[in-house]
Amino acid sequence: MIGVMLGGDKARAQYVTRGIVVSFQYINGEPAMVLFPRHSLKAGAFIIPINVAWAYQENEHLVAKAAIAARVMGLGSDHATVYRVASVINNHLEELVKMKPEPEENQEAIGEGQMTLPNGTRFSFELR
């Protein structure tokens, strides 16, 4: 069993859509979409790792996994709930696919950059 913090500091982004929290974070160092219900601390979470995201393009796979996700999250298994979960997954898949690899904590800078904001403020930063 893997221990995973849902959301929190490690989440790259987090949304609440139709009562479902969609958290983009790293699981075992890989990008993943984590779904869990907004108002239940006792329910489970459903994880979609990036390496299987391609399969969710197929409607049959999407609906079958949405039914499993709905049960895992304790939302029920009626058609409306499965459709709601499938819709949430489908609407957020592109963001999962666009996630960058997990940054290394002690990664060395590979360069420097400068930026000037429209208001004239300038600042420097390191590229990692």
Tell me the residue type at 35: L
Q: Given pLDDT bands bounded at 50, 70 and 90, which one contains residue 1? A: very low
Instruction: Give 32-83 pLDDT, tens digit per residue.
Output: 999 999 887 678 899 999 999 999 999 999 999 999 999 999 999 999 999 9
Answer whether 0.85 is exceeded by the pTM.
no
- pLDDT at position 107, please? 57
Alpha helices in the chain (DSSP H): 59-72, 79-98
DSSP string, 23-47: EEEEETTEEEEEEEETT-SSS--EE
Is the pLDDT confidence value at 3 over 80? no
Q: Side by side, which strands form the sheet with 20-27?
A: 13-17, 20-27, 30-37, 46-49
Instruction: Give 83-103 pLDDT, tens digit per residue.
Output: 999 999 999 999 999 988 887
Is the pLDDT confidence value at 5 over 90? no
Query: b vs e for 76-115, b when ≥16 Cβ sit within 10 Å of the residue's Cβ?
Result: eeeeebbebbbebbeebbeebeebeeeeeeeeeeeeeeee
Say whether 115 sits in a helix, a strand or coil: strand
Q: For the chain, which residues make up each domain, given as ranges?
A: 8-127
Alpha-carbon gap, residue 75 to 58, rounded angstroms: 23
Judge contact between 7 and 21, C-beta under 8 A. Answer: yes
- pLDDT at position 60, please? 96
